[in-house]
A and B are shown apart, each in its own frame.
Chain A
Amino acid sequence: EIVLTQSPGTLSLSPGERATLSCRASQRVSSNFLAWYHQKPGQAPRLLIYGTSSRATGIPERFSGSGSGTDFTLTISGLEPEDFAVYYCHHYDSSPMFTFGPGTKLE
């Protein structure tokens, strides 16, 4: 089973700054199968990025994803107040099995 690790655990930034969030897989994974979500208190997770770098419908261009192999990154350029949330990376394998990372709190 693939284990996802996210860093940092908490990221403290201000509106307008750039956020870089990391997701590391315990073994090489296909870039097709890595996604990112964010979650605000009391809400369900919301899809941001799938297939490592494809933005979901309605997601602003300030959100971008990159990476390959075991290391993946979510970048938010120019933080808006509504971006402060917990961010999760997510992996699918063809077993099928879906795995989530532990999350990065962006505050």
Chain B
Amino acid sequence: QVQLQESGPGLVKPSETLSLTCTVSGASITRDYWSWIRQSPGRGLEWIGQIFYSGVTNYNPSLKSRVTMSADASKNQFSLKLTSLTAADTAVYYCARDCYDTSGRPYFDYWGRGTLVNV
């Protein structure tokens, strides 16, 4: 059974940097892309970006200037850094697995439980 678990601080001060880690069990991060998605009452579900274990990343253009993702295959983890935080970044942050079936159709099939971050 694939499981994802987010970890990181629940409270961060404005202008500081948020660092979150997603630990994956039951699957290797060397397969598939892995995403961060956040959810807030004002912005709904918002895709932040994705990473492949080799370091290939793709970010939401609206957040690109503030986002960095990395992956550590030895720990089967991937991470998110979001800089220059404001109150608008307050949200539940989820990590999720990106799947693409044999026809190239994408979906997020496994999600972490989410972690609430207050700025």
Measured CB to CB, the residues of A under 8 A from B are 1, 32-33, 35, 37, 43-47, 50-51, 54, 56-57, 88, 90, 92, 95-103
Contact = CB atoms under 8 A, between A and B. Distances in A.
B106 A50 contact: yes
Contacts of B113: 43-44
A97 B44 contact: no
B45 A32 contact: no
Contacts of A51: 101, 103, 105, 107
Contact of B101 (A43, A50, A96): A50
A33 B46 CA distance: 17
20 contacts: A1-B61, A32-B103, A33-B105, A33-B106, A35-B107, A35-B108, A37-B108, A44-B94, A44-B111, A46-B111, A50-B106, A54-B101, A54-B105, A57-B109, A88-B45, A90-B45, A90-B107, A90-B108, A97-B61, A103-B44
B28 interface: no
B109 A47 contact: yes
B47 A99 contact: yes
A43 B45 CA distance: 13
Interface of B: 35, 37, 44-47, 50, 58, 60-61, 94, 96, 101, 103-109, 111-114
A56 B94 contact: no
Given A90-B108, A100-B47, 9 more contacts: A32-B103, A35-B106, A44-B112, A44-B114, A50-B105, A54-B105, A56-B109, A90-B45, A103-B45
B45 A100 contact: yes
A32 B109 contact: no
Contacts of A50: 101, 105-107
A54 B103 CA distance: 12
Nearest to B4: A44
A95 B58 contact: yes
A98 B58 CA distance: 11
